[in-house]
Amino acid sequence: MFCMGRMSTVRDDQVFSAVGARLAANGAITLQTVVAETGVSVGSLYHRYGSREGLLALTWLDAVRAFQAQFLAALESEGDDAGVHAALATPQFCRRERQRAIVLSCCRAAEFYSSATPHHLQQDISRVNKAAAAAIRRYARRTGYTLEACRLGLVAFPLAAVRLYLPSRPPPKTLDAYVSAAFWSAVETG
């Protein structure tokens, strides 16, 4: 006799959104808070994510992978405007994927992973971070811009700009002109 397992009622997007919102608001999260926000039982959270540390790391990985897909595609594209498109990925992502953006822009990475994070997730996080850093280095070499100017124009300035709005509201479309100008100012000055 074939027996199908029960379908999971845990929705990662709902759980990850609750984690990001609580961390942005309170700077801390407990599984009981996630239970209260989502209605998912503590047992289901442990079954799905393994531990509180696993949940936090997976929340971070979900958000950073979604963002980097857009950012890296823009950065590695051909054309003179690849860098500005990559810089604009930040405010665009914040408007399109607000809950994930809150995780990345309103919380510190240290809130999502530490030495207590399961080893395989630490390795995944390291790979994701190294891939982004390598892409920025390649872009700097390809364009002749300094690495510092690229880090400022591609990461620091766009992130600082969206933090003026999140988590309370998405950044307005008018912010894109400022992010674009900041990118060009950084790379042309550096």
List CB contacts of 114: < 8 A, sequence separation 6 or more. 53
Residue 78 burial (CB < 10 Å; 0-12/13-18/19+)?
Answer: exposed
Distance CA 146, CA 99 (A): 33
Instruction: State pLDDT tens for residues 17-69.
Output: 999 998 888 888 889 999 999 999 999 999 999 999 999 999 999 999 999 99
Mean per-residue pLDDT, 175-184: 98
Mean per-residue pLDDT, 149-158: 98
What pTM value is reported for the model? 0.89
Lowest pLDDT segment from 18-27, 69-78, 129-138, 168-177? 18-27
Place of tokens 């995944």: 124
Q: Taking CA 138 as the corner, what is the angle to CA 117 and CA 122, rounded to the nearest 5 degrees?
A: 5
Q: What is the DSSP string of 81-93?
A: THHHHHHHHHHHH
Give the residue among 155, 154, 150 at the shortest CA–CA distance from 187: 150
Which is more confident, 9 or 21?
A: 21
Helices within 78-174 (DSSP H only): 82-96, 98-106, 119-143, 147-151, 157-163
Distance CA 79, CA 83 (A): 9
